[in-house]
Structure 1
């Protein structure tokens, strides 16, 4: 009986470990950089953040500052993205923000992302069929940087919101990474900005919902509109 109980305990733990994933690598122009070369490394291994008011929600636990993270120089309008350490396992949307460092910051490693400096630049559109959403289980995600932004230092933040247990809050799981960029050639622009944490309350219909019943035929992305 004790052996059987132990086997059940081990079996129960396996899916949760395998289901978790990280975004450790930056992609620029089709080239994938080394893990944590330009992406801030978190300290909670592959565990997600659930508290949207926590300072861990900015760039993940242990990634409040950049430590020895490099900063990649890239032109505005370039195609960039993130590669995962393993395929996404949980259903949910992908959202990307840029955070512009204050002009007083000369080294991104010293900026914690605080303040109303963030704007949404991408959200992966979801297709729907008769059985509901087509939640894409990706190995990587790429998108274009805006051109109408000021040149300067930025944190590029990706989040995948896992919704498999999101009927209550906390419940949704946020898988988050931040890459460090120096963006050149921007043509200006003044996107409306938000704070992270602060952008979500946790009660949004895109964060607190049952994705299994009734069958979804639409999804409300949380946060501001995508800046274009």
Structure 2
């Protein structure tokens, strides 16, 4: 019985340590430039694509402690609190705070989000995403977007249990940026969260193990480029 208890405890601990959150960008400390997500203690995930938490993983809005100054065209590195354990794509979205509104109180509601990166797997005997096993994720801020305040949304979709609706696990957080330089482009194809995804989207409800897929379509809009 004692051995069984240790096995169960080990399985529970592995389940916890396999999860993660995204608390930091650049050289900041945890939750300095990133709005504190509801999984800051649990490392849990969002499963319901229709939940308000699918936006920034916050039930109750709270601002970051500070806003990070970046230049359009530069690279921002987002960090997870431990290496990504599960297979699935890493994506980044941005949303510009309307002129005259405060980034600390703006919630990012409505069709304001545009995608700046998503990750494609390699194919073979299994699907492999390069994000697996990593904890640092650099992304380039588009050089042509208008200067202003933005939210930068990091999202990893874990697909190891995604063969049924609600099985995909979303790990999300949002950083606050002040973007300088840039141009005058207002990216098209903006989406809202919730609203951008459906539970049965082929990139969300998928069996990645059998039969092994030979293609993969990331959910949401296409990636914006200048």
Q: Give the alignment's TM-score, normalised by structure 1.
A: 0.91
**Equivalent position to 1:36, from 31, 39, 51:** 31
Q: Whole-Å Cα distance in 1 between the matches of residues 194 and 211 of structure 2?
A: 30
Kindly state the Cα deviation for residue 190 of structure 1 after the two structures are TM-superposed: 2.1
User: Match of 1:69?
Assistant: 65
State the Cα deviation string for residues 160-206 of structure 1 (Å, max 9, x = none): 00000001111100000110001111201121211111110111100
**Equivalent position to 1:131, from 125, 130, 133:** 125
* Structure 1 residue runs of 4 or more that deviate by more than 4 Å after TM superposition: none
> Structure 1 residue 150 and structure 2 residue 149: aligned?
no
> Structure 1 residue 119 and structure 2 residue 114: aligned?
yes
Q: Whole-Å Cα distance in 2 between the matches of residues 88 and 109 of structure 1?
A: 29
Kindly state the Cα deviation for residue 5 of structure 1 after the two structures are TM-superposed: 4.6
> Structure 1 residue 181 and structure 2 residue 177: aligned?
yes
- Could you tell me which runs of 5 or more consecutive residues in structure 2 were left unpaired when the two chains were aligned: none
Q: CA RMSD in A?
A: 1.5
Q: Does the 8 A contact of 1:41 with 1:62 survive in 2?
A: no
Kindly state the Cα deviation for residue 62 of structure 1 after the two structures are TM-superposed: 4.5
**Would you say how many aligned residue pairs link Structure 1 and Structure 2?**
220
User: Match of 1:51?
Assistant: 48
**Equivalent position to 1:99, from 91, 95, 109:** 95
Q: Whole-Å Cα distance in 1 between the matches of residues 98 and 61 of structure 2?
A: 16
Q: Does the 8 A contact of 1:132 with 1:217 survive in 2?
A: no
Which 10-residue stretch deviates more, 57-66 or 70-79? 57-66
Kindly state the Cα deviation for residue 63 of structure 1 after the two structures are TM-superposed: 6.2
Q: Whole-Å Cα distance in 1 between the matches of residues 137 and 96 of structure 2?
A: 21
User: Match of 2:192?
Assistant: 195
Task: Give the number of the structure whose residues are more often strand, by fraction.
Answer: 1
Q: Whole-Å Cα distance in 2 between the matches of residues 20 and 76 of structure 1?
A: 32
- Could you tell me which runs of 5 or more consecutive residues in structure 1 were left unpaired when the two chains were aligned: none
Q: Whole-Å Cα distance in 1 between the matches of residues 199 and 184 of structure 2?
A: 32
Q: Does the 8 A contact of 1:96 with 1:156 survive in 2?
A: yes
Q: Whole-Å Cα distance in 2 between the matches of residues 125 and 81 of structure 1?
A: 19
Q: Does the 8 A contact of 2:33 with 2:176 survive in 1?
A: yes
Residues 65 and 111 of structure 1: is their aligned pair in 2 closer, same or farther, counting only changes over 3 Å? farther
State the Cα deviation string for residues 5-41 of structure 1 (Å, max 9, x = none): 53343122111111011111102xxxx3211110111
